[in-house]
Structure 1
Amino acid sequence: MATFVNCPTCSNKVEWKESNLWRPFCSERCKQIDLGAWAEEKYSIPAVNLPEDPEENALN
């Protein structure tokens, strides 16, 4: 039985198999769109409880 996933860019159904060079994307275009979004820092991972700035503490 084949496994299908949704393309992260356009949500088209994509068969998850080795012959799909762009998996999990449906095409090279969708892969490039996603790469461009990362390069433009459109994605971020929220940070919780960031450590204090060590440079700020060194000045005190």
Structure 2
Amino acid sequence: ISLVDNLVDDDAELISLYYGEEVTDEEATEIADELMNLYPDLDVEVHYGGQPIYYYLLSVE
């Protein structure tokens, strides 16, 4: 979550979270819910990325 703090600025509108093959839907949803609570003014999207190495990839736009 501290990484997201560094990425979010006044122009941010969207946080996209892509979760890997070893992460469950429930785990990804928990993180998305936490992001929504911390950043209520931003849209949060969750996508299955299926990446084999990284648990999560994150972008802020």
Establish whether TM, by shorter chain, passes 0.5.
Answer: no
**TM-score with structure 2 length normalisation?**
0.29
User: 1 or 2 for the larger relative contact order (CA 8 Å, sep ≥6)?
Assistant: 2
Structure with the higher strand share, 1 or 2? 2
